């Protein structure tokens, strides 16, 4: 059993503190070391089979982000956040991705590729089954989104999860398509503006008795 690194109160306090930031302070940047840690947290995100069917594109350049604004329903978080993370799925997932992953496991763990044949077949069997791999990969990305927002909040960084954008335009403008990725959700990160009135609105969550049910 590992020790807790936060108190129960601190965890809840940070979850209460966070909110979908509407106005970022465009002048306030996430320090470089802290940002590296947030990237490290993204890399450590769990995924089904551990396959990591994703890539996280980071954009800080303002003119590039201004180009995305019109494809983001004009939501300025895209530009005014310190960092914009475009969370993307790997397209056309298939046996080659599994082979690449299995080879990497063998390398990291110092075991023969052959010893992982069962696991490899399990993943490939799953992929050949009745599954929409695009939808499945997208769900995995949402694990990353959930983990990232909490990681940021724990470190005092604001975020805003954003589904309101046009993935096809993002893919084109950012050149994701030739890379084999497609944007599925955005998460600008930075620091809330003092003028963001949403920061102090009472958080709206249904009562626990409506959301958690013991069977």
Residues from 183 through 212 that contact a second copy (CB under 8 A): 191, 201-206, 208, 210-212
Alpha-carbon distances, residue 85 vs 17, 43, 63, 130, 166 (angstroms): 21, 13, 16, 31, 15
Count of C-beta atoms within a 10 Å radius of residue 75? 17
Please report whether residue 6 would count as binding a second copy according to CB under 8 A: yes
Minimum CB distance to a second copy, residue 159 (Å):
9
Residues 141, 93 contacting (CB under 8 angstroms) = no
Query: Cα separation of 82 and 32, whole Å?
Result: 11
Q: Which is nearer to a second copy, 118 or 208 (CB)?
A: 208
Helix (H) or strand (E) holding 138: helix 133-154
At residue 112's C-alpha, the angle toward residues 106 and 116, to 5°, is: 70
Contact with a second copy (CB under 8 A) among 62, 64, 113, 115: 64
Please report whether residue 82 would count as binding a second copy according to CB under 8 A: no
At residue 151's C-alpha, the angle toward residues 207 and 202, to 5°, is: 35
Contact with a second copy (CB under 8 A) among 94, 121, 128, 146: 146
Q: Which is nearer to a second copy, 33 or 118 (CB)?
A: 33
Contact with a second copy (CB under 8 A) among 89, 140, 183, 193: 140
The maximal CA–CA distance of the chain, rounded, in angstroms, is 59
Query: Could you tell me which of 104, 89, 98 has the C-alpha nearest to residue 127?
Result: 98
Please report whether residue 117 would count as binding a second copy according to CB under 8 A: no
Where are any strands of DSSP class E within 117-178? 158-159
**Total binding residues toward a second copy, as defined by CB under 8 A:** 83
Where in 151-180 is the site for a second copy (CB under 8 A)?
151, 154-156, 161, 163, 174-175, 179
Minimum CB distance to a second copy, residue 181 (Å):
9
Where in 16-35 is the site for a second copy (CB under 8 A)?
16-18, 20, 28, 33-34
Contact with a second copy (CB under 8 A) among 44, 95, 113, 117: 44
Please report whether residue 138 would count as binding a second copy according to CB under 8 A: yes
């Amino acid at each position: 059993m590992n020790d807790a690194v936060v108190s129960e109160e601190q965890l809840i306090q940070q979850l209460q503190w966070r909110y979908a930031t509407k106005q970022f302070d465009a002048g306030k940047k996430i320090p470089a070391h802290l940002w590296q840690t947030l990237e490290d947290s993204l890399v450590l995100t769990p995924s089904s089979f551990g396959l990591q069917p994703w890539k996280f594109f980071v954009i800080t350049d303002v003119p590039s982000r201004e180009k995305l604004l019109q494809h983001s329903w004009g939501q300025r978080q895209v530009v005014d956040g310190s960092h914009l993370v475009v969370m993307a799925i790997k397209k056309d997932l298939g046996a080659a991705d599994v082979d690449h992953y299995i080879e990497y496991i063998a390398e990291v763990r110092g075991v023969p590729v052959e010893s992982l044949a069962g696991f490899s077949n399990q993943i490939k069997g799953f992929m050949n089954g009745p599954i929409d791999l695009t939808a499945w990969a997208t769900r995995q990305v949402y694990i990353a989104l959930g983990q990232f927002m909490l990681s940021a909040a724990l470190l005092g960084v604001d975020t805003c999860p954003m589904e309101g954008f046009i993935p096809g335009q993002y893919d084109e403008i950012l050149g994701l398509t030739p890379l084999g990725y497609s944007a599925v959700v955005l998460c600008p990160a930075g620091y809330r503006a003092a003028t963001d009135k949403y920061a102090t609105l009472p958080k709206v969550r249904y009562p626990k008795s409506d959301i958690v049910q013991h069977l």
